[in-house]
Structure 1
Amino acid sequence: MTAYLVLDFTVLDLPAFMPYIEGVPAFIAKHGGRYIVRGVEPQVMEGDWSPERVVILEFLTAENAQAFLADPDFQSLKAVRERSTISKLILVEGCI
């Protein structure tokens, strides 16, 4: 079943975040993922959720998404994101 990683983030240090921006696409592709939404400013339609930037990644399965996040070679880039942003990340499965 298709799965999605949804990232809501605020960049604290753009120069420090740049290695992540440049390096993460290869790891997404390595695990069969693709961008659906890439770092856009969302328009809040209801409620009090106020994300600054949103990324949505699509993977073939939840296992692929989890493998992407757990990839040992990705951990140094993940640490870059964790140091240079405030991030909230969820995994959801699709309907099909």
Structure 2
Amino acid sequence: MIQLLNHKDPHTARCIVNVQRPAYEKEAEIIQFQGIPQLNETAFDVMDSRDTFIGWFEGEELAGIASFIHTAEKLTICRLAVHPVHFRKGIAM
């Protein structure tokens, strides 16, 4: 189920980091580039973000996240990550 996430909440911010870090580590390994900014983000960085965050839950567990910035002119997708445990389940379609 997709839910709007309150990334300003410290617990939620940690959950977001716990999804995105292993996902971006896997991506960095595949593309052989360690400079992906989200690899070094902390929960405080997530809490300071201007993005709107949504999450996909498998039961009570946050399995995937996306963030975006919406203006009158456009919608910009800023990040999309699925925890590697949940790869190949169609979460990031």
The structure, 1 or 2, with the larger RCO (C-alpha pairs under 8 Å, 6+ apart) is 1
TM-score past 0.5 threshold: no
Per the normalisation by structure 1, the TM-score is: 0.28
